[in-house]
Structure formats: structure tokens, C-alpha cells
Amino acid sequence: MTRHAHTPGRTMALGLAIALTTRAGFGGQEPSVPPSVSRGARLFDGTEPLAGTLSGHSAPLPAAATRCSQCHAGPGAPGATGSSFAPLLDRHLLLDARPRRGGPPVAYEAVTFCRTLRTGVDPAHVVLPRAMPRFDVDDGQCAALWEYLTQEIRK
């Protein structure tokens, strides 16, 4: 049995083959992604920047420091746990009721998610760490992030 080296060209070819096979499974077309989910993905990865500051500071953070993906793994990240200080953000973390600091179980809703982004206080009234930016986001940005993070990933 011959072993093949994993060269960048070979890896790229394999990735292209997988992508084409996946598209073929959808009748040659990519599955439809709602525009709000696409925008949420851009906001999450920083392609579309978010404005934010650190708690107690007035100077805006650079765009690279306000990317959600800087600290969090997002929906569909296989086996990802995020960084050591920021949890994986997906529909289960946001929608499943969980107790915080001995309080009653609570889950996020779109309104409480947006309030948390803006104020740094979660639905259980727990203040998030200062390292989590407080974002100056509008309702459209919040809705897009919420839809992206709470989407149901189909396998």
C-alpha cells in the first residue's frame, strides 16, 4: 500500500472534490441561506465589522478586536470549544435554559441576546467579563447575529 504525502495541492484538490460532491447532493445547487444568516456570519467573523468598547472605556476598539470569532467558536464548528475564556456560541448554548451562579435556569431570547451584547449583562443578570466588548449594534445587526447563531445546522 502506497502512502500519499499531504501536499497543499493535494489537500486543495480533496477540498474541491468534497465541495463539488456536496453541491451535487443538492441537485448541483448550494442550499439556500437566508440573507440575515449570511449577514450574521459576516458579523461573527468580522467581515462586516462591529463597533464596540471595553467596559469602563470610551475609546472604540479596533475592528479586529470586536470579531466574535476572535474569542468564540460558532455554529457548526466541529468539535470546537472556543477559547478558554469564551464559550462556543450556538443554538444550544443560547436556547437551552441553564442555571448561572446558583440562579434559576434561563435561556436567551433575541431581545435578551441583544441587550447582553449592548450592556454585558446576561438574562440571569450576571455581568459578563470585562474582556467581552460592549457592542454598539443596531437592531438589524442583532437580529442577523441571533439568526446566524441559532440556526439549525443540518448534517
In this prediction the pTM is 0.74
Query: Please, what is the angle between helix 139-149 and helix 35-45, to 10°?
Result: 90
pLDDT single digits (tens) 97-124: 998 888 889 999 999 999 999 999 999 9
DSSP character for 53?
E
Dig out the grid coordinates for 115 from the structure.
441587550
Task: Give the containing element (helix H, strand E) for 18.
Answer: helix 8-24
pLDDT single digits (tens) 22-64: 334 444 445 688 999 999 999 999 999 999 999 999 999 999 8
Instruction: Select from 100, 96, 92 the least CA-distant residue to 126.
Output: 100
| Residue count (the chain) | 155
